[in-house]
Structure 1
Amino acid sequence: MVDVENPPVEKPDPGTKRAALWATLIAVPVALIVGLLVFWKITPDGDTKAAEPAAGASTPVVVPSTPVRMDAPKLDATTAQVCLAVTSQLPTDVRGLPQRKVSAGPEQNAAYGEPAITVACGLPQPTMCERTDGGHPGCVPLDATMLKMNGVCWYGQDLPATDIFTTMDREVPVQVQVPGSYEQTAQWANEFSDAVVQTVKSKTSGVPTGCNQ
């Protein structure tokens, strides 16, 4: 007589049990492989490369800790005061190049980056002359091209290793030297035009005609 209330429990077929086990064993590796493929597609170069910081303008510039060698000629009281005002208004970095220590005259000199871009205040006043050979160091040829940048008139000298830019319209001259390894050297010099305008008065006479064009 069959017990309707408690029907007999059927035993699983051994063949069906083995098939289910094989399906499970195959499904697990397939899932792992699919997961790895998706991960590699997102980060094709692996974790090591993905963790490296991207190079850009925000990447710190490594510069030597040694001071940049610069001369510091003795200045009269008025010129020294103006140059101190100039250096106090200079930026702490220029296009990511950090300001560096100088070997002499931090109240009149400044330097940035490596190779160093230098700023010197209080040099002899440049004057126009017909010949550059045999003249004094501040001699500027009459046919020299003047660069008007951000309200400052600069005389630019294109030299083999370094380009030199000197203000021609200021009571106290400011000179910027930019190594030739930098592109568009005049634009680097122009980074200091605002500080010059803020701190150095314009000359009322002796300004080259090229500065007025």
Structure 2
Amino acid sequence: MVDVENPPVKKPDPATRGAALWATLIAVPVALIVGLLVFWKIAPGGGDAAAEPSASATTPAVVPSTPVEMAAPKLDAKTKQVCLAVTSQLPTTVRDLPARKVSAGPEQNAAYGEPPITVACGVPQPTMCERTDGGHAGCVPLDAVMLRMNGVCWYGQDLPATDVFTTMDREVAVQVQVPGSYEQTAQWANEFSDAVVQTVKSRTGGVPTGCSQ
């Protein structure tokens, strides 16, 4: 008579039991190996994560502690006063570039980052001239394009290593030099427009027509 409430216990087949045991023994090491590989990939210093980041255009350059070499020509009393006002209004950083010491004339010069972007106040006022006059220093061709940015009229010169931007509509000229390694150099010069507007009066005459609003 079959006991319905307590059915007989079926003994496992030895062959089946052995196969299951081997499967378990194999599955454990495989799972362990997979886990170690995952850990090795995500752990600091493991796998691809250990590779040092390569230098790129977005990697900030190390800024030297040495002063940036800049000339400091002697200024008359009025110009010196204006330039002191300009440098006092300059930011301590320009975007992510920290201010740096300059070799001379901190009351009229400033520098930022590496390679350095420089600001010089009290430079000779550029004048408009014909191309046929030999292109003397400070000569701005009559057909030169003027950049009016944030209320300041800049004359930009695209030189081999550095782009130079000089104000054309101010009583005291301010010049910004931006190394060609920076992108959109005019926009870097524009970072100083606000300080110029706040501290340097506009010229009443001799302003190029390209500077008109």
| Residues 58, 96 of structure 1: 8 Å contact kept | no
Amino acid at match of 1:138: G
Amino acid at match of 2:124: P
User: 1:122 — aligned with what?
Assistant: 122
Divergent runs of 4+, >6 A: 18-24, 51-58
**Structure 1: segments with no counterpart, 5+ residues:** 1-14
% identical equivalent positions:
85
User: 1:50 — aligned with what?
Assistant: 49
Q: Distance between the aligned counterparts of 2:166 and 2:133, measured in 1?
A: 18
Structure 2 counterpart SS, 1:195: helix
| Residues 132, 139 of structure 1: 8 Å contact kept | no
In the TM superposition, residue 176 of structure 1 has moved relative to its aligned partner by 0.6
Amino acid at match of 1:32: L
User: 1:140 — aligned with what?
Assistant: 140
More off after superposition, 63-72 vs 169-178: 63-72
Residue 181 (structure 1) aligned with residue 181 (structure 2)? yes
Q: Distance between the aligned counterparts of 2:94 and 2:163, measured in 1?
A: 17
User: 1:6 — aligned with what?
Assistant: none
Deviations 1:39-88 (A, max 9, x none): 35x63996375376798999653022221111111112221121111112
User: 2:168 — aligned with what?
Assistant: 168
Q: Could you say if the C-alpha distance between residues 45 and 132 of structure 1 is closer, same or farther in structure 2, counting changes exceeding 3 Å?
A: farther
- How do residues 1-213 of structure 1 correspond to structure 2 at under 5 angstroms? 26=26, 28-39=28-39, 43=42, 47=46, 49-50=48-49, 60-131=60-131, 133-134=133-134, 137-213=137-213
Q: Distance between the aligned counterparts of 1:159 and 1:56, measured in 2?
A: 24
Structure 1 counterpart SS, 2:177: strand
Deviations 1:132-153 (A, max 9, x none): 7556532222221111111110
Q: Distance between the aligned counterparts of 1:168 and 1:84, measured in 2?
A: 19
Q: Distance between the aligned counterparts of 1:120 and 1:36, measured in 2?
A: 59
| Residues 61, 98 of structure 1: 8 Å contact kept | no
Equivalences, count: 198
User: 1:9 — aligned with what?
Assistant: none
Q: CA RMSD in A?
A: 3.3
Q: Distance between the aligned counterparts of 2:122 and 2:27, measured in 1?
A: 80
Q: Could you say if the C-alpha distance between residues 122 and 23 of structure 1 is closer, same or farther in structure 2, counting changes exceeding 3 Å?
A: same
Deviations 1:150-200 (A, max 9, x none): 111001112222211100011111001112222222121111111111211
Q: Could you say if the C-alpha distance between residues 53 and 150 of structure 1 is closer, same or farther in structure 2, counting changes exceeding 3 Å?
A: same
Deviations 1:93-128 (A, max 9, x none): 223222211110011001122222111001122222
| Residues 68, 101 of structure 1: 8 Å contact kept | yes
TM-score norm. by structure 2 comes to 0.77
Q: Distance between the aligned counterparts of 1:197 and 1:160, measured in 2?
A: 29
Q: Could you say if the C-alpha distance between residues 210 and 58 of structure 1 is closer, same or farther in structure 2, counting changes exceeding 3 Å?
A: closer
Q: Distance between the aligned counterparts of 1:143 and 1:169, measured in 2?
A: 16
